[in-house]
Amino acid sequence: MFKDRQQKIDVVEKVKLSVGDLRPGMYVCELDRPWLETPFLLQGFELKNDADIQAVTQCCEHVYIDLLRTKIVDVTISAVSAGGFHNPKNAAFGKKDLEAAQATHQQTSDLIKTFVDEIRFGQSPDIQLAKAAVSGCVARVMGNPEAMMFLTRLRSKGANTSQHAFNVCVYSLVIGRLVGLDSNQLENLGTCGLLHDMGMVMIPDHILNKPDSLTAEEASIMRTHTKEGRDILMSGRNLYSGTVDVAYGHHEHLDGTGYPRKLEGHQLNTNCKIVAVVDKYDAITSLRPYRPPKDHLSAVAILNKLALANKIDAKLTTGFVTYLGIYPPGSIVELSSGEVGIVIDSRPEQRLRPQLLLVRDSAKQPTQSFVDLAEKKTDERGRPYRIVSVRSPGDYGIDLAQYCDLIMQAFE
């Protein structure tokens, strides 16, 4: 049954784009006319710079982009939204949506903190409580995923464990919804995502918080979190066996080079493959003691490479990064004017020109104003007004949590 549902993602490995939406890093695999009618020597090439884009613009009105070979991915794809996954009104999430998402976020975060405390005191976590919390996540993702996705960008100090658990849960549900899982399957998948890293509780703090690269011995200890997580969840009350499988196997690779058992793809269940993809994405975009967080596009490039190397599932990866798009809600972006903003809404028909809350002016000084790039094509000097780069979380001292209230007020 799942194999049939996976075919929904096959259609988005190649996507159609207007030449006006092309960006450096995209890989052109097909034109809107025969290759022999164009000056291009190769039937398939990466757009290296604006000159390459201009050359394509002179010949074509639209082209097709190969997502698996591209460095950035657009999401103007009817197949992803055809199932009603996006807000049916195609509107940004509103105040009530964000408030509901925040309540769910707080509930799951509190639960993870409780579980951590229980485990440290030798008690067994109640898995049924986790499933109850995840049901709220499922409802929010089914109703308005943009609000939940926005909250995955929050990075509160001292809450890395609970935030990572919440993010992996939400991202897993996104993929699960894309491949057509029903509500019960989504609840099970989300529970796996929420509890996948429980074994980290048993790793010594001096290893978890080490600001430098781990030694071989320390890395070996770090890898034991999969076995520790398995043991913790097996001892839990109201055991759900799926959580055990994912906690133990989310670092396995499809080619058999992962850990702890070097399992291959056919030996891993679907939930494990999904969590493996999103766990890596969130780890890449999160602050670590030994490195700053990477931006969204860098994370997408890394996921694409891992998929091509058969480390993680290519179709699941394609579906995930396609849905996220170039500018997911909560992303920090810099404009051609030098201004910096937070992406609020990334509507299907305008994924490359989202709505923003500007929080830094051209001199990188604090400011607060809203702009819709779909409506504002040029700046005050008449120059093209567009996003030129995606910044890493925390750049320019921007704390997303500080702007939640302002964003909610905008949609009252």
Q: Using H for helix, E for strand and C for coil, what is the string for 128-187?
A: HHHHHHHHHHHHHHHHCHHHHHHHCCCCCCCCHHHHHHHHHHHHHHHHHHHCCCCHHHHH
Q: Compute the distance between CA of residue 374 and CA of residue 352 in angstroms, rounded to an integer.
A: 8
Q: Which residues contact 232 (CB under 8 A, 6 or more apart)?
A: 119, 124, 125, 198, 199, 201, 202, 247
Judge residue 45's burial from the number of C-beta atoms within 10 Å of its C-beta, 0-12 exposed, 13-18 middle, 19 or more buried.
middle
Task: Please tell me the predicted confidence (pLDDT) of residue 200.
Answer: 96
Find the angle CA(315)-CA(321)-CA(324) to the nearest 5 degrees.
140
Element holding 346 (H helix, E strand): none
Q: Which of 279, 274, 329 is nearest to 302 (CA)?
A: 279
Largest CA distance in the chain: 71
User: What is the Cα Rg of the chain in Å?
Assistant: 22
Report pLDDT for 232: 95
Asked if residue 253 lies in contact with residue 310, where contact means CB atoms within 8 angstroms, the answer is yes
How far, in whole angstroms, is CA 103 from its chain's centroid?
21
Strand order in the sheet with 62-66: 14-18, 62-66, 27-31, 45-46
What is the per-residue pLDDT for 307?
Answer: 94
CA–CA separation, 158 and 161 (whole Å): 8
* pTM, 2 dp: 0.76
Q: How many Cα atoms are found within 13 Å in the side-chain-facing hemisphere of 111?
A: 22
* pLDDT given at position 263: 95
CA distances from 49 to 24, 26, 219 (A): 5, 10, 40
| pLDDT digits (tens), the chain, 412 positions | 333 333 333 333 566 777 777 778 888 888 888 887 788 877 788 888 877 887 888 888 888 887 667 765 433 333 333 222 333 334 456 677 788 888 999 999 999 999 999 999 989 899 889 988 999 899 988 887 888 888 888 776 656 889 999 999 999 999 999 998 998 999 999 999 999 999 999 999 999 999 999 999 999 999 999 999 999 999 988 888 899 999 999 999 999 999 999 999 999 999 999 999 999 999 999 988 888 888 888 899 999 999 999 999 999 999 998 888 888 888 899 999 999 999 987 666 667 788 899 999 999 999 999 998 988 888 888 888 989 888 888 889 998 888 877 777 665 5
Other beta carbons less than 10 A from residue 161's beta carbon: 18
Taking only the tens place, the pLDDT of each residue in 33-85 is: 888 778 887 778 888 887 788 788 888 888 888 766 776 543 333 333 322 23
Please report the pLDDT score of residue 4 as a whole number. 38
Whether the Cβ atoms of residue 170 and residue 133 lie closer than 8 Å to each other: no
Query: Would you say 2 and 179 are in contact if contact means Cβ atoms under 8 Å apart?
Result: yes
Residue 272 Ramachandran class (φ > 0 left, ψ -120 to 50 alpha, else beta) = alpha
Per-residue pLDDT of 256-300, as tens digits, reads 999 999 999 999 999 999 999 999 999 999 988 888 888 888 899
Which residues are registered as beta bridge partners of 15?
A: 65
